[in-house]
Amino acid sequence: MKSATKYIHAGSHPDPSTGAIMTPVYMTSTYVQEAPGVNKGYEYARSQNPTRAALEEALAVIENGKFGLAFSSGVAATDAVIKLLNPGDEVICANDMYGGTYRLFTKVFERFGIVFRYVDTTNAANVEAAVTANTKMVWLETPTNPLMNITDIAAVAVITKAKKLILVVDNTFASPALQNPLDLGADIVMHSATKYLGGHSDVIQGALVMNDTGLRDKLYFIQKSCGAVPGPMDCFLVLRGIKTLGIRMKAHCENGKIIANWLRANPKVAKVYWPGFEDHAGYAVASKQMKGFGGMISFELKNDSVEEARRVLSSTHLFSLAESLGGVESLINHPASMTHASIPREERIKNGLSDSLIRLSVGIEDAEDLVNDLAKAIG
């Protein structure tokens, strides 16, 4: 089945009682049982909900996996994965990563004895060199947020399989439409479904997809026991969003290419971070493991001052100054003070995230309008 068809039909089954083509929103906390332990597969909504079940089936289908699990946010999904570990276990992760993930790792899980080692994962040899007897997991983002660095998932998977480590890939920036990490050897795929999967900036949700039954059972136990589950209306919204994922991502990619090339040609722009440029360090890998280069772009101005960056950030009209990404509308963001503020400045600068870096989530508006908006803002 082709991807565009798969996104529309994944998890969709006509309602058996009415024939409704859309999955009903089951707004219930509990389910009537015929006798103790005799039920229709549902007991309590923290453990199971039919709307959530349909979404979790869809998540598995669109990532070419066997099992999907939905969570109340992307951070909640990440939290569940790290709860697979024990005190003293080590995780190798990218030194360029989403600030919320870094905050969770350093401010929460380090207190419980989990050790995180940050390396440049764009070179798989760095990952292998960081492995110790205590390493249990490798956590990747590719493309990374916000510097758009690319890691060769298949190359890292060779290492993790040989060392019997769990390989987790945050696939939020690419979405299943552009990249399928399970096909490349990953064990778990994580999404902030708030972003491209939902696609309309109207829901907070996270997702995990995997093939291994043992991993699924452990993560389901954590999902049920810790309780970070999404409500049925949120599940419905992501199910609806997935139906248009293919056509939306095509538009994001088309607009992203236009905006990236326009920025690179602008005399007031010093550097543009976008993996679709042939001279991007990760272009060859991205071309191999991705079906498109996406609509996420970061850039720096030649006037590399925070003041000038703030002026541009406050001067756009179609690009709304806001956190998040992946919606149909375009957003502009200042990572140093917004999405990555939790990372110490010294660490940010060392890893290439400057105080003046600007990040764009290019939406699906008319590209000419978006170019004109940026042109007026940059001046």
Coarse DSSP helix, strand, coil percentages of the chain, rounded to the nearest 5 percent: 40, 15, 45
Q: Which residues, at least 6 apart from 20, have a Cβ–Cβ distance to it below 8 Å?
A: 14
Q: What is the C-alpha separation between 137 and 143, in angstroms, rounded?
A: 19
For residues 359 and 335, the answer to whether their CB atoms sit within 8 Å is yes
Q: Which residues, at least 6 apart from 80, have a Cβ–Cβ distance to it below 8 Å?
A: 69, 71, 208, 219, 222, 223, 226, 228
Q: Is 98 a catalytic residue?
A: yes
Catalytic residue chosen out of the listed positions 79, 96, 152, 170: 170
The full length of the chain comes to 379
Catalytic residue chosen out of the listed positions 98, 102, 118, 273: 98
- Residue of 212, 152, 180 lying closest to 59 (CA atoms): 180
Q: What is the C-alpha separation between 131 and 323, in angstroms, rounded?
A: 34
Q: Is 26 a catalytic residue?
A: no
Mapping DSSP to helix (H, G, I), strand (E, B) and coil, where does residue 23 land? coil
Catalytic residue chosen out of the listed positions 52, 83, 136, 195: 195
Q: Is 46 a catalytic residue?
A: yes
- Residue of 299, 353, 358, 304 lying closest to 331 (CA atoms): 358
Within 10 Å of residue 23's Cβ, how many Cβ atoms?
24
Strand partners of residue 188: 168, 210
- Residue of 196, 226, 230, 201 lying closest to 68 (CA atoms): 230
State the DSSP code for 231.
Answer: P
Mapping DSSP to helix (H, G, I), strand (E, B) and coil, where does residue 298 land? strand
Q: Where are the beta strands (DSSP E) in 269-310?
A: 269-273, 296-301
Q: What is the C-alpha separation between 309 and 202, in angstroms, rounded?
A: 28
Rounded (5°) CA angle 187-191-197: 130
Q: Which residues, at least 6 apart from 213, have a Cβ–Cβ distance to it below 8 Å?
A: 66, 67
Encoded tokens for 241 = 């969003």
For residues 105 and 91, the answer to whether their CB atoms sit within 8 Å is yes
Q: Known catalytic residues?
A: 46, 98, 170, 195
